[in-house]
Structure 1
Amino acid sequence: MFAEKPTLKGERVTLCPVRPEHAEGLFELASDPEVRRLTGSRARFDLENLRTWYATRAGHADRLDLAITVDGEFVGEVVLNELDTDNLSCNLRIALIGPRAFGRGYGSEAIGLVLDHAFRTTPLHRVRLEVFGFNERARHVYEKAGFVVEGVERDALLWDGEWHDVVVMAILRPEWQARTGTLA
């Protein structure tokens, strides 16, 4: 379903297929303590493994990995993964590189671009995501994009000795169509 790896252009951001040259930006993103907390990521990565990872993404038709760039500079990634072709659904994951990318609208624009692509060019019916209860900034962005809270997984993340909920959200094709006035 995601065999084509497009470049999507917005007003401020460009989403392009991830390539090995984006690995340094991903390494910075994955190493930032605040980004790690916001994503619940405990994994440690090295630059060569990330280069290999990004070099292999183009060969996966079951996912779409896009670098978020501003004026050619990597500021994050947005990914459609966990494709369920039987139920026409997938997961959305997004991460920005940190304070220099937070609060500038890059995430909102990237989400809008990737949803537009997903619902216009694929038969997807549902895109879901998870966000930690403490990440109000991200939850606001998701709600603004049309995602609806579907449930809460209580105490699903133990981080620095504290339990946190995971909020499950999704947007359905008809909701996206109503928001955008699109008949896809």
Structure 2
Amino acid sequence: MIELIDCEESHRWLLYEWRSSDEVRPYMYDRAEISRETHDAWYTQLLRREGRRGWIIAMDGKPVGAAFVSQHDHENRRATWAFYLADPSTRGRGVGSAVEYLVLEHAFGELGLHKLCCEVLSFNTAVVAMHKKFGFVEEGLLRDHWYRDGEWVDTHVLAMFEDAWAERRKRFGEQLRSRGLI
């Protein structure tokens, strides 16, 4: 079973390990090594929860990744989200879909958002496909947006709207429950 656990002080250095790992860093915008001081400051801001929220993704009680909602704009009822799976053994097992469902439920339920946005590097085709499967629509493509390893990389800009989620949530919830993922 997949659950989201609020980030707490005890998770500070676990997230540092993950963000510094070869499993996560290639999918981040900035792949440079993160200093302990930089991470410490970032995590302190995360715990203040001012316009952002962070969770540890747990699979059968074991921490396997993290998810974040940030840039929460209360007036315009929108935010941005991202996640990563730090444990490669979780990939291809429906964990990402369960996380997507749980975050969407939080975003459109508890937060009352109208729109949830995300950005995905173009080489991460599995995550782009997963977002679209859930009903995210592509709002744009930022061409040559990041320079990595001597090549320019595009970034997909996607969004989910509250009415689209209202139409899909029951079906996805039933599918994930039948697989024992949520």
Larger deviation: 28-37 or 13-22? 28-37
Distance 1:181 1:68, change over 3 A: closer
Q: What SS is found at the alignment partner of 1:138?
A: helix
Q: What SS is found at the alignment partner of 1:170?
A: strand
Aligned mates of 2:73, 2:130 — CA distance in 1: 25
Larger deviation: 127-136 or 63-72? 63-72
Q: What SS is found at the alignment partner of 1:175?
A: helix
Q: Aligned letter for 1:155?
A: D
Cα shift at 1:146:
1.6
Q: What SS is found at the alignment partner of 2:153?
A: strand
Q: Percent identity?
A: 33
Aligned mates of 1:119, 1:151 — CA distance in 2: 22
Give runs of aligned pairs for residues 109-148 of structure 1, distance below 5 A.
109-148=98-137
Distance 1:158 1:55, change over 3 A: closer
Q: Does 1:21 align with 2:10?
A: yes
1:73 to 62, 75, 88: 62
Aligned residues: 171
- Give a deviation string over 1:63-108, Cα, whole Å, max 9, x none: 1111101233221111110112221100011111042232222121
Which is helix-richer, 1 or 2? Answer: 2
Aligned to 2:28: 39
Aligned mates of 1:99, 1:14 — CA distance in 2: 17
Aligned to 2:162: 173
- Give a deviation string over 1:114-171, Cα, whole Å, max 9, x none: 1112211222100000001111111112112221111100000111001110000000
Q: Does 1:82 align with 2:71?
A: yes
Larger deviation: 152-161 or 31-40? 31-40
Aligned mates of 1:93, 1:107 — CA distance in 2: 11
Aligned mates of 1:151, 1:92 — CA distance in 2: 16
Q: Does 1:161 align with 2:156?
A: no
Q: What SS is found at the alignment partner of 1:33?
A: coil
C-alpha RMSD of the superposition: 2.2
Aligned to 2:90: 101
Aligned mates of 1:108, 1:57 — CA distance in 2: 24
Q: Is the 8 A contact 1:78 1:111 kept in 2?
A: no
The alignment's TM-score, normalised by the length of structure 1, stands at: 0.82
Q: What SS is found at the alignment partner of 2:167?
A: helix
Aligned mates of 2:46, 2:153 — CA distance in 1: 31
Question: Structure 1 unaligned runs (5+)?
Answer: 1-11
Question: Structure 2 unaligned runs (5+)?
Answer: 172-182
The alignment's TM-score, normalised by the length of structure 2, stands at: 0.83
Q: Aligned letter for 2:27?
A: L
2:48 to 41, 45, 59: 59
Aligned mates of 2:74, 2:12 — CA distance in 1: 29
